[in-house]
Amino acid sequence: MRIYRAKDYDDMSRKAANIISAQVILKPDCVLGLATGSTPIGAYKQLVEWYNKGDLDFSEVTTVNLDEYKGLPRDNDQSYYYFMRENLFKHVNIPEGRSFLPDGTEPDSEKACSRYNEIIHQVGGIDLQLLGLGQNGHIGFNEPDDHFSLETHCVDLTPSTIEANKRFFEKKEDVPRQAYTMGIKTIMQAKRVLLVASGKEKAQALRDAVYGPVTPALPASILQYHKNVYIVADEAALSLFG
């Protein structure tokens, strides 16, 4: 694991965007695994800025996102599809039809998940997977559990994740209770992984992920077994690293 210490959120965002843009420049037809949530927003903004300056070209890039709420249509402003469109897709030149997310509108979980696995296989796997970190150590929506998950599956969100995500909804009751998420095995098969973390709320999970035992009770800890992990975190998130 390589850990990059950033001064603050903006510095973390720039450093993360640098790693993503290096991937796109070195392999223009790469597959980027993308994440939603508040942490990567600054990195996406930076990528859009570099794209507008003519320094980045996404014309051969394919993207696959980590997860999507089950039951939210794409035009719901809390769907991850909507998030990705607003924060990245509508601003850059990723070709139409080359950005994939699990289909949250598919009520049949088995169908939705096997279709998404098929897509990930068809695009040839992930070159660089971007991850945020849940306060409980989740990655994607792989919540603490007694085993590591394999491929895309449907999950019940834990009370702590519902609590953490309610800030995006009018009221807590509106937070969907289930989501489709890429599994741990798929994340581990990505050639490179970039985990971003910001703020003191992430400090304990980040410390445990890097220095604690590898356990499905803290899903991000599995990354200790991945050969190419880049962690970009700000001072607050790294405050328990000593």
Instruction: Find out whether 182 and 218 touch, Cβ atoms under 8 Å.
Output: no
Stretch that binds ligand F6R, among 18-26, 42-50, 131-139, 170-178 (CB under 6 A): 131-139
Per CB under 6 A, 139 contacts ligand F6R: yes
Stretch that binds ligand F6R, among 13-21, 54-62, 88-96, 137-145 (CB under 6 A): 137-145
Instruction: Find out whether 109 and 55 touch, Cβ atoms under 8 Å.
Output: no
Q: Both tokens of residue 97?
A: 């039809």
- The site map against ligand F6R for 16-35 (x = CB under 6 A) is -------------------x
- Enumerate the active-site residues: 67, 136, 138, 143
- Give the residue with the Cβ less far from ligand F6R, 138 or 153: 138
Among 33, 42, 102, 134, binds ligand F6R (CB under 6 A): 134
Cα(99)–Cα(238) distance, rounded to whole angstroms?
32
Among 2, 8, 25, 38, binds ligand F6R (CB under 6 A): 38
Per CB under 6 A, 15 contacts ligand F6R: no
- Using CB under 6 A as the binding rule, the residues of this chain from 47 to 66 that contact ligand F6R are 66
Angle at 138 between CA 218 and CA 154, to 5 degrees: 115
Stretch that binds ligand F6R, among 2-10, 13-21, 138-146, 213-221 (CB under 6 A): 138-146
- Give the residue with the Cβ less far from ligand F6R, 60 or 109: 109
Per CB under 6 A, 70 contacts ligand F6R: no
Angle at 191 between CA 190 and CA 197, to 5 degrees: 70
Instruction: Find out whether 218 and 209 touch, Cβ atoms under 8 Å.
Output: yes
| Single-letter code of the amino acid located at 56 | L
Strand pairing of 153-156 and 128-131? Answer: unpaired
Per CB under 6 A, 104 contacts ligand F6R: no
Cα(165)–Cα(175) distance, rounded to whole angstroms?
7
What is the rounded (10 degree) CA torsion for 153, 157, 158, 159?
180
Residues of this chain that bind ligand F6R (CB under 6 A): 35-39, 66-67, 132-134, 138-141
